[in-house]
Structure 1
Amino acid sequence: MTASTTIELPFSPPYEREKAIALIAAHAVPGSERVDLQGLSVTRIMGAPSGPVAVRVELGTRSVTTTISSGEPSDVEAVASLVRAWLDLDLDPSTITDAFGRDPILGPMVTARPGLRVIGHPDGYEAAITTVLGQQVSLLSARTFSGRLVAAFGEPGPDSLLLFPRPNVLASVSTDELQRAIGLTGARTRTLQAVARACAEGLTLTPTVDLVETRASLLSIVGVGPWTADYLAVRALGDRDAYPAGDLVLRRALGVSTAGEAERIAEPWRPLRSYALIHIWTSAAFS
């Protein structure tokens, strides 16, 4: 029987738990992640020193209860670090209130949701692949594509979950086979494989990387544009000033038509523009 470890990861309240779980659910990969909206919990596989482990996180009012399918201290330490970054547990919410509370655009949003966090991703490579799958399609379609990808190329993992196919797997499968399995266009399939190949060859997408170099590496991949690179900076690289100015929802919410205009409006929001982005997106989704 596999040993498991449960730890409490504290944070500074408030925390918009329902919004966090709703966002995770909207992007959850069928077969690889289980989300309980009522229980405010997520179960997924994470990489650890001993190998893939199943991790269940449950958002409480002052801490995140985290259960790991391992008793190894190194696994517990690694997962704790991943979860803290993923769920933005180190944020002091007063930092955002102080920064944006009097802003004419963001002030009312921050007052309404003072505990909103930037929800990242515990696996940057997986975030990159699912982001490519979601380019120019609905969230529902993106989840359908990611579910097909995992069903076709994933392997059985802990807790009856499927392992998300690793970079070398997607890089080595034929383009035609990959396209048939997922139902993508040829161009999108080639971008998917190019991202997987780059990651297999050493591209790392974590909060510890050089942001400028990594963004340049992403933009050098055919089919990866500024929106994708900036979105991954928010969710995978932990860049709290990342800001995909060309995003359609963002521009509509700001009442502008160009990325340049969105950039100019956001200048006072540096160096926390990713929090401004999340507040604007959330307000647009739940207003």
Structure 2
Amino acid sequence: MSDIHIDARAPFHHTAALALLAAHAIPGTEEIDGTSYRRAIAVEGRQTVVTLLLSNRGMTASFDPPISDLEAAAAMVRAWFDLDTDTAAIDVTLSQDPRLARLVRHQPGLRLIRYPDEFEAAAATVIGQQVSLAAARTFASRLVTAYGHKIKDLRAFPDATTLARRGADEIQKCAGLTRARARTLHEVAVRWADGPLLQGLPAHEARHALPGIPGIGPWTADYLLVRALQHPDTFVPDDLVARRALGLEQKAAAERSKAWAPYRSYALLHLWTDAAYL
């Protein structure tokens, strides 16, 4: 087993980070116990299980089987958890809005934690369309059990090639998704089978490309900019949790969010965290 300590740029709200991870954790792939988070993951193309012990100063990462390139592993974790971002400066900007000022005081140092794999982000987002977080975790767990590669006592989330080889009907029967959702998930797998589609794209290009995939609309596209690309300035105006937190309809929420530029994604994260995670 190989261990590394990774410092976070202060402040780091590790409790909120764990709460976000717990809300989306897929049984069989991810586990959370107190201040530790464990999951199957690929590092530099090699499958391993990472255990992260979080604190307000950062985290200790352990890899089993061991990873030889610890520098690459540390860089991956830093990017995954957004640890180098100056959240103090972001919080100062967001605090200018009275609605957000209270949230910033209570939960400083929130991070845009992305999915560690772009296809997993796209697939999990499709699975989670118009269902509860609990239902989404259940559907995803069924796919993991059926198609995920076993690593120690966990399984990796199925890769795009694996799901692309399965028909939409098989995916529907396996996961319990609606037929429309299964078709979208299969199409996403086919599109991602040759590698990441969004990596390296400017946000506006990624945002423009995604709705061209059947079953992916504005909410999914905006959500993926936040959770897959960690774009700092994306708001999701038709997100129900955000709109309820603001007490505004879609158009008014979009207008309100303009004042939070260039950190609208972090403002959205504050709303989500207050309403759904903590």
How many angstroms apart in 1 are the aligned matches of 2:192 and 2:172? Answer: 19
Alignment counterpart, residue 265 of structure 1, candidates 223, 248, 256: 256
Q: In the comparison of the two structures, how many residue pairs are matched?
A: 278
Give the stretch that moved more between structures: 235-244 or 55-64: 55-64
For structure 2, the 5+ residue unaligned runs are: none
Correspondence 1:12 to 2:9: yes
How many angstroms apart in 2 are the aligned matches of 1:216 and 1:133? Answer: 21
Correspondence 1:255 to 2:252: no
Q: Secondary structure at the match of 1:240?
A: coil
TM superposition shift of 1:17: 1.6
Alignment correspondent of 1:114: 108
Alignment correspondent of 1:34: 31
Correspondence 1:173 to 2:157: no
Alignment counterpart, residue 223 of structure 2, candidates 227, 231, 238: 231
Q: Secondary structure at the match of 1:90?
A: coil
Q: Any idea what the Cα deviations from partners look like across 1:198-242, whole Å, max 9, x if unmatched?
A: 101344344x33322222222110001111111111111010011
Alignment counterpart, residue 280 of structure 1, candidates 246, 271, 275: 271
Q: Any idea what the Cα deviations from partners look like across 1:22-56, whole Å, max 9, x if unmatched?
A: 110111111111111x2x11111222235212111
How many angstroms apart in 2 are the aligned matches of 1:284 and 1:139? Answer: 13
Alignment correspondent of 1:135: 129
Alignment correspondent of 1:47: 42
Alpha carbons 1:88, 1:118 under 8 Å: kept: yes
Q: Secondary structure at the match of 2:47?
A: strand
Q: Secondary structure at the match of 1:18?
A: helix
TM superposition shift of 1:177: 1.4
| Equivalent position amino acid for 1:190 in 2 | R
How many angstroms apart in 2 are the aligned matches of 1:224 and 1:283? Answer: 27
Alpha carbons 2:29, 2:157 under 8 Å: kept: yes
Alignment correspondent of 2:212: 220
TM superposition shift of 1:67: 1.0
Correspondence 1:196 to 2:189: yes
How many angstroms apart in 2 are the aligned matches of 1:148 and 1:60? Answer: 32
Q: Secondary structure at the match of 1:45?
A: strand
Alpha carbons 1:125, 1:205 under 8 Å: kept: no
Question: Percent identity at matched positions?
Answer: 44
How many angstroms apart in 1 are the aligned matches of 2:56 and 2:219? Answer: 34
Alignment correspondent of 1:156: 150
TM superposition shift of 1:5: 1.4
Correspondence 1:147 to 2:138: no
Give the structure-2-normalised TM-score: 0.94
How many angstroms apart in 1 are the aligned matches of 2:10 and 2:120? Answer: 29
| Equivalent position amino acid for 1:169 in 2 | T
Over 6 Å off, 4+ runs: none
TM superposition shift of 1:9: 0.7
| Equivalent position amino acid for 1:60 in 2 | S
